[in-house]
A and B are shown apart, each in its own frame.
Chain A
């Protein structure tokens, strides 16, 4: 049985917890980052161990295999360079046309992408967030877009000096203005998927008469102001009317493998 001082002590802890819960978001974000920094040595240790094992594996790869991989990469690099020349020309042409029409010029991504390593995932099952090893010292700010070569990953939710929390596509806190690459370019919002499978998200607020078919690509529309236009999100997997029957919902199979993220690119805001 508990005695009277025990009840007082429990009440004190409850009050303290309620006080922490009612603190302003900016203060709790700082507190979280401060407490989370206790784990930095362990995350560093894990990263060091992974690097050591990768180096050990690299030394075991035969020289012939390395030479073959080198040759493949060299050819791929040459191909990409040729494509880059063409895309540079297209960019210049696009900017000229935008200038002629009086539209704002699109800023190129070149030099604005930062590679980051995923160091941890959300320990709770009801959020989809990860932490990366880049922070304000690398120029990262809140709401920067995070992507992989396959497609959109999410956006920066909170930042500290050396770490950032990324909220992934499919989390309730990450809603993306998107459009379907069909004839009409139907627009909607990509929001949370189910809690079980992280590779799906739901696209809502699509027109009831939208011409949607499984396999159509879904990309960012650039309307929300957070994500630049044209980043691939995924493909339509299933289409069904919404609960109110006024709009259509689509199940999106995400391009980026969010459950196996190791490295991501952060698009720094200008």
Chain B
């Protein structure tokens, strides 16, 4: 995985948190804001190493909490748990299949808010929860499920467009060239 790829994942997390905070179109339309960080974590966990997964959880979680009323660090733990769980079984996951991407995106986006709320409740905070939260949870899970393959496609496209192409090796070597003539 190239440095560009790593930078792209972190930049995407930064932009995702900004967009979730600055633009409320989906919130007005669906009654809930879609969280893209679990979907990004799925991509990072399936395509990068554990160090990237951990630093992504820290970076994205702290960014999210800095714009939210969550206590700082609340979002780090759910993202870390999701990332480590996927890393643990990533050899068994068919990461190129859209169905697998959707399913893992759905699970990650469904687990992340539940873990965040559990963390808040265990810290004796009072998040706004009620029957309406069930709808918000469904919107977040489905939104994350849809976003995951889209993110895979976008990152793939970025990598193909801006990444280094592999050098095609040929059998030609100039030091082995048989030169005819006197020079």
Contacts and interface: CB of A to CB of B under 8 A. Distances in A.
Measured as residues with beta carbon below 8 angstroms from the partner, the interface class of chain B is: 35 or more
A2 B117 CA distance: 28
A1 interface: yes
B22 A172 contact: no
A53 interface: no
Nearest to A165: B69
A18 B130 CA distance: 27
B87 A126 contact: no
Contacts of B69: 122, 124, 127, 129, 157, 165, 167, 171, 173
Given A10-B54, A35-B62, A28 B22 contact: no
B120 interface: yes
Nearest to A259: B28
A119 B129 CA distance: 25
A125 B70 CA distance: 11
Interface stretch (A37-45, A67-75, A81-89, A90-98): A37-45
A33 B24 CA distance: 22
A120 B22 contact: yes
B145 interface: no
A56 interface: no
Interface in B36-65: 50-51, 54, 57-58, 61-65
Contacts of A9: 50-51, 54
Interface string A108-125: 000000000001111111
A129 B28 CA distance: 15
A194 B57 CA distance: 30
Interface in B59-99: 61-74, 76-77, 80, 84, 87-88
Given A123-B68, A126-B128, A195-B130, A14 B80 contact: yes
B132 A127 contact: no
A9 to B, nearest CB: 6
A57 B173 CA distance: 65
A28 B128 contact: no
A251 interface: no
A192 B67 contact: no
Contact of B129 (A16, A43, A126, A129): A126
A131 B136 contact: no
A182 interface: no
Contacts of B74: 21
Contacts of A32: 65-66, 72
A7 B58 CA distance: 16
Contacts of B129: 126, 195
A38 B65 CA distance: 13
A6 interface: yes
Contact of B128 (A6, A16, A17, A192): A192
A39 B18 contact: yes
B73 A125 contact: no
B167 to A, nearest CB: 32
Interface in B111-128: 113, 116-117, 120, 123, 126-128
A172 B130 contact: no
A121 B113 contact: no
Contacts of A6: 50
Contacts of A155: none
B110 interface: no
A1 B88 contact: yes
Contacts of A18: 73
A43 B21 CA distance: 10
Interface string B22-39: 101001100111010000
21 contacts: A13-B54, A14-B77, A17-B61, A17-B73, A18-B73, A21-B73, A35-B66, A38-B14, A38-B66, A39-B17, A121-B21, A121-B24, A121-B27, A123-B64, A125-B113, A129-B68, A129-B69, A192-B126, A195-B128, A196-B130, A259-B28
